[in-house]
């Protein structure tokens, strides 16, 4: 799998995103989305929330977790670590599983991220401009 990893901000919280060129899909770090939705103060709190929720979803037989993948993404210490990731469809299902006042703003943000990718595919120069901005 050929992937490009970026970090996008949502309410000043970092969300790690991987773009899979072969499948033409975004994969989002689940813990980062959980941190945003739960308004967790730190990564460890969000990780624990995800661990408990993941266990519940597995017991319920929810497809969200059974289709969850792991990719190597940059961690806070700069190392590449295996991280639970989900595509857009799975993230929307996850949002439904977490009671949050930020659900709608996150959905809009996800739509913006997707729209940016479509724009980049139409105009490749935007990809270069986005890379410069991210850097």
Predicted local confidence at residue 11, as pLDDT: 86
Task: Check pLDDT > 80 for residue 103.
Answer: yes
Write the pLDDT tens digit of every residue in 16-65: 999 888 888 889 999 999 999 999 989 999 999 999 999 888 888 877 67
Averaged pLDDT for residues 101-107 = 92
Q: Which residues contact 106 (CB under 8 A, 6 or more apart)?
A: 10, 33, 36, 37, 95, 100
2: exposed, middle or buried (Cβ count in 10 Å: 0-12, 13-18, 19+): exposed
Using the predicted structure, report yes or no on whether residue 127 has a pLDDT greater than 70: no
Name residues whose C-beta falls within 8 Å of residue 56's C-beta, 6 or more positions apart in sequence.
none
Rounded Cα distance, 29 and 25, in Å: 13
pLDDT at 105: 92
Q: Tell me, what's the pLDDT at 128?
A: 57
C-alpha neighbours within 13 Å on the C-beta side of residue 127: 9
Higher pLDDT, 116 or 105: 105
**Whether residue 121 has pLDDT greater than 60:** no
Tokens encoding 54: 């993941």
- pLDDT for the residue numbered 120: 55
Cα 117 to Cα 3: distance, rounded to the nearest angstrom: 14
| Cβ(55)–Cβ(46) below 8 Å | no
Average pLDDT of the residues in 83-110: 91
Q: What is the pLDDT of residues 55-83, one digit of tens each?
A: 888 888 877 676 778 999 998 888 999 99
Report the Cα–Cα distance between both ends of the chain, in Å, rounded.
23
Could you tell me the pTM of the whole model? 0.80
Nearest CA among 133, 101, 135 for reference residue 116: 133
- Measured between alpha carbons, how far is 64 from 82 in angstroms, rounded to an integer? 18
**How is the chain split into domains, by residue range?**
3-134
């Amino acid at each position: 799998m050929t992937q490009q990893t970026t970090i996008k901000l949502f309410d000043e919280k970092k969300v790690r995103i991987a773009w899979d060129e072969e499948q033409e899909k975004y994969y989002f770090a689940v813990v980062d989305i959980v941190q945003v939705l739960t308004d967790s103060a730190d990564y460890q709190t969000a990780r624990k929330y995800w661990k408990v929720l993941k266990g519940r979803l597995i017991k319920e037989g929810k497809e969200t977790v059974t289709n969850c993948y792991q990719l190597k993404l940059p961690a806070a210490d700069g190392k590449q670590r295996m991280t639970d990731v989900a595509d857009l469809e799975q993230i929307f299902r996850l949002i439904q599983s977490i009671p949050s006042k930020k659900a709608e703003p996150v959905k809009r943000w996800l739509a913006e991220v997707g729209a940016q990718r479509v724009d980049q595919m139409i105009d490749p120069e935007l990809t270069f401009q986005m890379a410069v901005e991210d850097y």
